[in-house]
Structure 1
Amino acid sequence: MSILTDLLRLDKEYGQLLNTALLDFTIPKPLPIAVGGLCDGASDAALVCLLEDIRRERGGTALILCATDKDCARTSETLERFGIASAVFGVRDLNLYDITASHDYEHERLRVLWGLVSGTLDAVVTTPDAALGYTIPKERLSHASFRIDFDTRIDLTDYARRLSEAGYVRVDMVDGVGQFAIRGGILDVFPPLFDTVGDAEFDGKPAPFRVELFGDEVDRIGSFDPESQRFLQNFDGICFPPAHEVLADRDSLTAIHAALLAHSKRSKNENAVREMQKELSAVELCLANNDFDLKFIDKYISLVYPERQCLLDYFGERPLTILRAHAAVEERLRAAEMSLAQTVTDLLQSGTISPKNAEFACPTARFHQFCAASVALRLDSLGASSSGERLGGLFTFRTKHLVTYDEKFDLLLEDLENAIRSGFKTVVIAENETSAKNIGGWLSEKGLRTSVESEAEEFTAGTLPVGTVFIKWREFLRGFELSSPRVSIFSLCPDGKSGANAASGRLKTARRKKRGTEAILSAADLEIGDYVVHESYGIGIYEGLEKLTVDGVSHDYINIRYAGSDKLFLPVEKMDLVSKYIGARAEDGVVRLSKFGGAEWGRTKSKTRAAVKDIAKDLIKLYAERMRRDGFAFPADDDMQSDFENSFEYDETSAQLDAIADIKEDMEKSTPMDRLLCGDVGYGKTEVAFRAAYKAILGGKQVALLVPTTILALQHYQTALSRMRAFGVEVDMISRFRTPKQIAQSIRKLARGETDLIIGTHRLLSGDITFKSLGLLIIDEEQRFGVAQKEKIKQIAGNVDVLTLTATPIPRTLNMAMGGIRDISVLDEAPTDRLPVQTYVLEDDDGIVFEAIRRELRRGGQVFYMHNVIESINTLARRIAEEFPDANIRVAHGKMEKEELEDIWSSMLKGETDILVSTSIIETGIDVPNANTLIVDNAHRLGLSQLHQLRGRVGRSSRRAYAYFTYPKGMALSEISEKRLEAIRDYAEFGAGFKIAMRDLELRGAGDLLGAKQHGHLDAVGYDLYIKLLNEAILEEKGEKPKEEAECKINLKLDAFLPESYVRFAAQRMALYKRIAMIRTQEDHSDITDELIDRFGEMPKPTKNLLAIALARGIGIACGIGEIEQEGNIIYIYPSHFDIEVWSDLSDEFGCLKASLSSRVSVAVNLGKADKKLAANPPLLLARIFERYLKLAAEKDAEENEENEENEENV
């Protein structure tokens, strides 16, 4: 047991939950038990506790049901980390045609089934549709399995027959799963899993086994290496389960033959009849040869197994069943049922199957019957609810999701101190041992009492004293807080940087490099179970990283599964060919996988490529037309600009400075600017916009700031006055807050050029608005304007500079940025004193909400309460007033008179209003630093971007802010609403806007990205590839040839990978591989080297090799090197173009190079003749050669240019 889970056991609610669950095992008809309030980390802890405690009391294997494959993988990984033997049982892809298919995924399922039969699994994790799919019946699995023990007698002929019947294929030499071979008195078998007998240790990976006979007596049993064919380890015995799930025999083949014959006679579909004739011939051949290996056997699974069993039949009478996110599991079940029904209908209509063999899964009623007979626990992240259903128990935990602290160690320190002062037990989870020691030392220097796992006393939940921070690194949970008992678990991993950067009290800020789309694209990092798109092979499922050894050299590969269980192992250096699939059905888990190597993917890409040409023409007309127009080139900065910027009372972030520099550079060009400024709420977009505005005003131009709401116009107007009045800027506003007389006067002043900066709503787009000399248009939250208004904006934008501000990029805007049609600047740094907003999602609960308000008022703050129904808003305000009679409560909504709204807003800004009950008019731009608690009721009705914008109304100071998103008590949320609420809760970290945008793309399916016309094409290839094809089409429309990125293939005889023992989490290794693949310079190499040492300690040799090879490859690309291949002591360099003069100089300099000008030009590097120190590190030697190549080539080009210039002068 672990202290991380034992702390949850201190909660009385858990004790009652466990007792109720154990009691359900003893009563005749158990009822489901609902458990709510468990955030991610607490849910994982509860799952581990329940499995450990119930297994200790009752034994048996638990069934855990999840809604997605990704959730299954995460759950299984969590259980394994805590020593709970678990496995994922995935959906089986049916092979319905006479084609050869790999069986890797089928073997994974067989391992699970065998684990259930043998009792070696504590838990099976699956989805409901995978659980219902037909599989080999339990009795048949046991009957088809057999065991061979040392010192027993066997008949090889009999065992050959039994192996064939169990799905094994006889070969000459065993080198793959599901094969067997007999040579004299030796039997080699490669089973899909292992189950050894005896005390010998085994690493658990599938391996072939060899049985040696002396006569007919087993003389030796052991595993062997399939490559060298040499023994590895001896065993006392071995169990051989079947190699396939669907095992035909003579009786079932006869039944299949009869069904085929009858169907072919009835069918009127000529194509279908022809296919049936082929299948009849195949079945007859199998019967004649006594061979039961029928490729299309899956089609007839219901005839092979008339018992029609599924995974559920492998469990006992009263199993423990845990449903994670019950509503989502039910939705997955419904979606899968509809999908299967449609598939069967299509197959019947095409004549591929007949009604006699049209069943492939148990009905959904079987699932509900199974759950009803189980001790069923429903673990939900939101509040538990009966929804009118009879329950065996209803338990609600009071937990809070704690953010990942990344490198915000000051915030971690503050929260630890607060937790300790409040009497909380505290645990910090570090990324690794190095990180644990570093953060422990740093916290000790700050005055906290710490204890690091494995270095000092090992605490239990009971003995851990309040005031001691226990730092663990061997196990992992996401951070959470328990209210009772008082427990806080803080996490520094896995998606953040480790505490290693806090060594010696130093909080390191990483050097900032390129900004732009990289910051957005990184939000789509891959996780196991994600759908991915490979440009050449199509849509598959990412199944993790695997280390493979070829010719004695080890590398990591990306494992991608395709339809029919085919797999692709892609070298990590080719990760740029793979992207995460984002499309309409990704969240449903019913995306159609591509057939590996099939022609269909090529056709799909061709159709999409043709479709994007149309939209490319429109986009080019809309955006590229601006580039052909003459704009105004603003002058460079002067002292007045500097004075204005120096008057800013806060420190700029480096991201702000970069964005300002980008915008100024654009403004100083003669072509009109069209730049998108993306920054999370509160990240300083307004200040960046004001600096651009002041630059335009100094250049003699007018500026228009267009905003979507009157309140936001007022906010910007007041900010602009305070910021610019001292610098002689004439600021005005046109909105509903102005009288007709004032508006008329403002219009006249604007036309005469007396107004420098005009701020307004869509009223600025009216026909009576004219400018004397408009130079810059700033649009705040463009997506909130209607279609007609956007058309008017396009007309105004004409040849003026345009700067668009957005906190959460909408899909279309995000596409423009990623597609390179618009320039983009990203504000991805929070102001130095900004804290993340602590976010809660809960059922309506006046007790919790009123306590949150009371706490805010107690600390002198203000509260936003958003209620989006005007008819009942006053009733709510009166109810709040009854609870807080001394508070000044105001109501605001869009139908109020302008004078009253202005008065309310002024009162809020001055701090005179304690609680503002408002509709969504507060959604954008409202800045009240003293308001740090937000309540939003009926949050399930709002979109993800709206929720994020609303949360941005609080947390705009250095004070910790709170946001409460509520939904009606007892309401069964739709899956999409629940996912939105979970996303807004989980994405509370700094700069979550881009995660929100990408998550919104996934939730909405990205189909409305470019309109319904493009919906199907986008879903067919996924968002990223669609955008790439669109970009190519745009370049072609411009008359440019899409640039193909150069590639430098490098194959050196060196182990090169990130060992799991060095970088613990697969997601981190993936992220590092991405960055390592982008190494292009010595500086890039040094940055990543420093970071790895800082985070994980000294690098092992394979990691040093990996970075050195990446450096050689990166510089090789710049040199135009196409391929590098090592053969023994010689490394061959194949340049794409050959400069004989430069290579000759290099040969003289290094003394180990020799060029060959045969049919394929190459340069041989003889390691035996190279400098010994460099020869010991071949990739470093290559990097040095390529660096010198670049320098010599540059010098040569410079000389040639100088010579040409002299010749031109002479002429």
Structure 2
Amino acid sequence: MPAPAPDRWLRPAADQSDFAQRLATVASGGGTTVFDHVDPAARAWILALILSHPAPRPRAWILDPSPKNRERLAAELRLWGVRARLLPDPVTGIQGDEAPDPEAAAERVDALDQLRRAQRCVILAGPDCFDHPAPAPERLSSSRIVLKRGASLDPSGLIDQLSAEGFERAPLVQGRGQFAVRGGILDVFPWHVPLPLRIEFFDTEIESIREFDLDSQTSARKVDHAEFALAEPDLDGRVADYLRPDDLVIELTDDPSTSDASVIITSQPATSDREEDFSTACHAEPFGRFEAGDFVLEEIRRDAFIQQLARWHRDAWTTAVVFANQGEATRFLELLPDGSESYFQPLMGELMESFTVPSARLAILSSAEIFGRYRTSATTSSRSSRRAAEAKASLEEINDGDLVVHSEYGIGRFSGIRRGEDHEELLIEYRDGASLAVPIDQAHLVGRYVGLGGKDPELSKLGGTAWKKVRKQAEDAILDYAARLLRIQAERQTDQGFAHPPDSRWMWEFEQSFHYTETPDQLRAIRESKADMESAKPMDRLVCGDVGFGKTEVAIRAAFKGVTGGKQVAILCPTTVLAEQHWRTFRERMSDYPVRIDLLNRFRTASEARATVKGLADGSVDIVIGTHRLLSTDIAFKDLGLAVIDEEQRFGVKHKERFKELFRQIDVLTLSATPIPRTLYMALMGARDMSTIDTPPPNRVPVHTTVTPYDERVIREAIRRELARGGQVFFLHNRVKSIEFVRDRLAELVPEARILVGHGQMEKDELELVMRGFVNGEADILLATTIIETGIDIPNANTILIDRADRFGLADLYQLRGRVGRAGEKAYAILLLPREMLTTGDARKRIHAIKQYTALGSGFRIAMRDLEIRGAGNLLGTKQSGQIAAIGFDLYCRLLRQSVDRLRGKQAIHRHECSFKADFLMVREAAHLKDPRKGLPAYLPGSWLEDTQLRVSAFRELAEAADERELDALIRRWTDRFGRLPDPVRHLLDVTRLRLLAAHVGIASVEIQGQRLMIHRNGDYLFLEGKRFPRLAATHPKEMLEEAIRMIRSI
């Protein structure tokens, strides 16, 4: 489909007298030009017309008071060939917030820097932007550094420069203003670039420059050059300093009399002293909005629309229909009668509303209105990066005093890392003051103890038998649990279900019409669900993922597949509010297709409910979405093929029993908003069909978090800031006794705000009415306890204030904070604490943890981990939770995986089951450094990985590699993060490869003595004829190791 040729859509208007006169005035700069009566639908088109006039000004500022409108304009201007850059409003932060928001500040300075350098650009900003503080332009131009691939640069000089400018040297870059050095690699996160940079040197030559992801620490993209300011600029100037004399300033306003801009665009009538009336220029909604599904289902309205297209065509109008993607366009063409495709030109892009320009005989129509989808603009922050945070509590995140589990010796307390004579050791303290020193290369045997909350367990006794008994009991219980899971799975496999047909053309078009880019996890979950549905065995799949990570789209696609295969679909939700939200989402997504989607809950009238029940029985209702009302005995389906259960853990035991009864032989897809740990997912993979979605969608913006003493000025400021941008606010106060008092205080502080109160002592019906009102925008503030459900998506609520944040655990705070920031809008979480807590007593540790959490560093990962453990508890049930408490979560998962593999007859491979010795191998760095010419070194040199915790992490990764594929992935990751691998590291990896290959074919030990290769398997050595050991031809240690690997590979 052709991209818009902007000239074709702009030129006809530019030649009309209404427009030509004004455009000439704009070009000459002769006074103020007003475009009045301009409907918001046509604003981006008018702007494009002004900016592409034959004599355009090279630089333009477009001023609009609403951040949402600016985002919409940026998206719609692209349709007309104009690239505009957003200048975010300054985030000054609320009182007491020292660093308001590094991400927003970085994006702002980046935009200003572009303005300083650019000869041609279009900037979208607020009307008062020129008065806002900003770095002086000359300050941005000084202290800059330019890096180019292949250029010469002394790395030590750059390190000195970074230190002098206030950058902090760290073992791992985790935030702006930090740098890390590892061999020939320098990682740095400058103040004002979107992603941190990894610069790899070969001596003094820059060999490569890569952007990398903070969470995974892996490179994301190669770049040929990078430029950034070394200094963190002071705000000693104003944005007006970036305004040049010939810049064009255009303001969009509802009050033209207050504007000083060169060009004013307004929806109001012209003021008599400024301009003639322009009301003939643009009209909106030429045929009125369609509701979702009407265009497909109401033939009369569709015919009227096609007749209008035919009239415009007959009268020589130029008509365009703007589609979000190819799938939408293909479906639209299918719905039109033959020959009518010549009536319009299809365009690809973003357009929220339709408009006409009668004087130019131009009609620009939006598919969002035709299909009844009132979508938000799909602009995302220029610096939003996909973060798939690995919530893995490795020893990097274990601090002195934390509880750890050694798989052989039990639960102890970590007391640090010490350097022994020739290697480092982890120190673990046990009961009665006993301690254990674990060599660093056995770090994989030690993991952080994670239970299920509650009190800490007792430390194990070193050398006692109690731990062995505890572990044996856990192993037996886990084996029973795994056997039960596999039995249930086997029983379900014998049931005969319905095999849905392969994807149809409609399915393909439907998937193409999705307005966002699917994440890899989401695509995998969709693929797995569809494969299950096409099988004759009934599906029983669990999809786990955080709120807002795209589980609903997985359910929508499964439902659409069910319907197009001729089956009915039931969607069960725990609450009416969630059911209504799903109903709206499903209707909008399927509005292009003749699918009847009904809602069944207690807010429906008796006649509506009767019609739905009748439609389910006669098959005229394709999809029904409802609460447990769907489980009532009066509900009968004509041909139910799929049930989707959202938040299963929130239904009662009776409801769950009813699920088993009703859904035995149909496909069942269960959604859970509590993420589960990857280790548990891997352990259960063979026993339960599960899909996990760990990757946030690309428009999920990190929530800016502030910790501050309770201050009513802060509260007023935060609420007013949100209301000013048209948003809503959560205020969390977790005490029902005093909630009405807090309501009265909020009403005094922000009298203009509408407030709703919700808490757990309300009747269920009353609480649901409160939630429904807030979701529908009937209030500005929801004052509530933690009872407010997490599954509900309120994209307009983007500020949350949490009173007495010190009373919540990190996992609670993480989940509460996750309720905002879902619509691509910048979101704010403000944690309010009693003033005295910041200065006194044991509370300091708590505050430190919360502050650490705000940085999205390791605290965030631990919070995520704790939350996942709860998900694990929900999934596994009470008995298994007791085993987790006894032996810790990591060991539980390892044993569960072994049990599942064993019961399925799969031979578990553990690299440490095969030992390796060679008389030439030197595994201790100290011994090798004494005589470097002797033997083959195989270890992680301290000079290569200086930070001990990084070394511990590296040893764990090495021990966890299960096969050659994982080992190769590890080598790529290490090369990326740490640069060229030194010889000792390469040799250690070769030894690991040999042990993996040997374990895979059941070899217990490999030893090289002189030229002899001694391989022990099945209780005996492998001999050649005449009881001779195989001999190696090579004589150099490195080549001998390589030859041994080749021989084992051939076994």
TM-score, normalised via structure 2 length: 0.58
Per-residue deviation, residues 474-506 of structure 1 (Å, max 9, x unmatched): 68897599xxxxxxx99799xx99742795354
Q: What amino acid does structure 2 have at the position aligned with 1:500?
A: R
CA contact (8 A) 1:867 1:917 kept: yes
- Residue of structure 1 aligned with 2:957, choices 1072, 1075, 1078: 1075
Shifted more, 564-573 versus 676-685: the winner is: 564-573
Return the offset for 1:723. 0.3
Return the offset for 1:987. 6.8
Alignment of 1:523-534 (within 5 A): 527-529=398-400, 530-534=402-406
Question: Partner of 2:501 in structure 1?
Answer: 635
Distance 1:964 1:500, change over 3 A: same
CA contact (8 A) 2:189 2:195 kept: no
- Residue of structure 2 aligned with 1:473, choices 169, 172, 180: 169
CA distance in 1, matches of 2:147, 2:820: 31
Question: Partner of 2:699 in structure 1?
Answer: 833
Distance 1:573 1:472, change over 3 A: closer
CA contact (8 A) 1:863 1:914 kept: yes
Q: What amino acid does structure 2 have at the position aligned with 1:583?
A: G
Q: What amino acid does structure 1 have at the position aligned with 2:107?
A: E
Distance 1:476 1:576, change over 3 A: closer
Return the offset for 1:1105. 1.9
- Residue of structure 2 aligned with 1:1094, choices 965, 971, 976: 976
Find the residue that maps to 2:592 and give its secondary structure: helix
Alignment of 1:196-595 (within 5 A): 399=98, 413-414=106-107, 417=110, 454-456=159-161, 459=164, 470-473=166-169, 499-500=197-198, 504=209, 506=211, 527-529=398-400, 530-542=402-414, 560-563=428-431, 577-583=445-451, 588=456, 591-595=458-462
Return the offset for 1:942. 6.1
- Residue of structure 1 aligned with 2:637, choices 771, 785, 790: 771
CA distance in 2, matches of 1:1123, 1:661: 42
- Residue of structure 2 aligned with 1:1022, choices 888, 893, 904: 888
Q: What amino acid does structure 2 have at the position aligned with 1:535?
A: S
Per-residue deviation, residues 540-566 of structure 1 (Å, max 9, x unmatched): 3445666777xxxx7766555544666
Find the residue that maps to 1:456 and give its secondary structure: helix
CA contact (8 A) 2:171 2:947 kept: no
Return the offset for 1:718. 0.7
Per-residue deviation, residues 29-54 of structure 1 (Å, max 9, x unmatched): xxxxxxxxxxxxxxxxxxxxxxxxxx
CA distance in 2, matches of 1:678, 1:968: 36
Per-residue deviation, residues 912-958 of structure 1 (Å, max 9, x unmatched): 85444456575323334343212233556667665444322211133
CA contact (8 A) 1:862 1:931 kept: yes
Per-residue deviation, residues 1144-1163 of structure 1 (Å, max 9, x unmatched): xxxxxxxxxx84774xx853
Find the residue that maps to 2:589 and give its secondary structure: helix
CA contact (8 A) 2:198 2:211 kept: no
Find the residue that maps to 1:1167 and give its secondary structure: coil
CA distance in 2, matches of 1:789, 1:991: 39
Residue correspondences, number: 718
- Residue of structure 2 aligned with 1:1103, choices 985, 988, 1002: 985
Question: Partner of 1:1132 in structure 2?
Answer: 1014
Distance 1:1039 1:1120, change over 3 A: closer
Find the residue that maps to 1:1074 and give its secondary structure: helix
Distance 1:443 1:864, change over 3 A: farther
Question: Partner of 1:1058 in structure 2?
Answer: 940
Return the offset for 1:520. 6.0
Return the offset for 1:692. 1.9
Question: Partner of 2:789 in structure 1?
Answer: 923
Question: Partner of 2:773 in structure 1?
Answer: 904
Question: Partner of 1:735 in structure 2?
Answer: 601
Per-residue deviation, residues 644-694 of structure 1 (Å, max 9, x unmatched): 111011111222222222222333333333332222232212112212222
Find the residue that maps to 1:1165 and give its secondary structure: coil
Find the residue that maps to 2:819 and give its secondary structure: coil
CA distance in 2, matches of 1:722, 1:741: 24
Find the residue that maps to 1:672 and give its secondary structure: coil
CA contact (8 A) 2:444 2:960 kept: no
CA contact (8 A) 2:852 2:859 kept: no
Per-residue deviation, residues 947-985 of structure 1 (Å, max 9, x unmatched): 444322211133321112435666899999986994697
Distance 1:568 1:1063, change over 3 A: same
Per-residue deviation, residues 232-283 of structure 1 (Å, max 9, x unmatched): xxxxxxxxxxxxxxxxxxxxxxxxxxxxxxxxxxxxxxxxxxxxxxxxxxxx
Distance 1:1005 1:770, change over 3 A: closer
- Residue of structure 2 aligned with 1:1176, choices 1030, 1038, 1046: 1038
CA distance in 1, matches of 2:815, 2:758: 18
Shifted more, 835-844 versus 1008-1017: the winner is: 1008-1017
CA distance in 2, matches of 1:1177, 1:812: 39
Q: What amino acid does structure 1 have at the position aligned with 2:992?
A: A
Question: Partner of 2:572 in structure 1?
Answer: 706
Q: CA RMSD in A?
A: 5.1
TM-score, normalised via structure 1 length: 0.51
Q: What amino acid does structure 2 have at the position aligned with 1:1057?
A: Y
Question: Partner of 1:1113 in structure 2?
Answer: 995
CA distance in 2, matches of 1:1117, 1:607: 28
Q: What amino acid does structure 1 have at the position aligned with 2:956?
A: K
Question: Partner of 1:755 in structure 2?
Answer: 621
Return the offset for 1:717. 1.0
Distance 1:734 1:1060, change over 3 A: farther
Question: Partner of 1:1164 in structure 2?
Answer: 1031
Find the residue that maps to 1:1050 and give its secondary structure: strand
Find the residue that maps to 1:1099 and give its secondary structure: coil
CA distance in 2, matches of 1:1134, 1:746: 71
Q: Which runs of 5+ in 2 are unaligned?
A: 1-94, 114-131, 137-143, 178-186, 201-207, 221-387, 923-936
Return the offset for 1:814. 6.0
CA contact (8 A) 2:707 2:831 kept: yes
CA contact (8 A) 2:681 2:690 kept: no
Q: What amino acid does structure 2 have at the position aligned with 1:1110?
A: T
Question: Partner of 1:249 in structure 2?
Answer: none
CA contact (8 A) 2:754 2:780 kept: yes
CA contact (8 A) 2:728 2:780 kept: yes
Q: What amino acid does structure 2 have at the position aligned with 1:1071?
A: S
CA distance in 2, matches of 1:966, 1:879: 15
CA contact (8 A) 1:864 1:934 kept: yes
Per-residue deviation, residues 564-618 of structure 1 (Å, max 9, x unmatched): 6666555666555444322368974x6312313x333322333334455665666
Question: Partner of 1:653 in structure 2?
Answer: 519
Per-residue deviation, residues 622-648 of structure 1 (Å, max 9, x unmatched): 555334433333333232221111101
Q: What amino acid does structure 1 have at the position aligned with 2:1038?
A: A
Q: Which runs of 5+ in 1 are unaligned?
A: 1-395, 404-409, 426-438, 465-469, 482-488, 1141-1153, 1194-1211
Per-residue deviation, residues 46-88 of structure 1 (Å, max 9, x unmatched): xxxxxxxxxxxxxxxxxxxxxxxxxxxxxxxxxxxxxxxxxxx
CA distance in 2, matches of 1:819, 1:683: 21
CA contact (8 A) 1:451 1:457 kept: no
CA contact (8 A) 1:497 1:1095 kept: no
Distance 1:1075 1:1023, change over 3 A: closer
Are residues 1:986 and 2:868 paired?
no
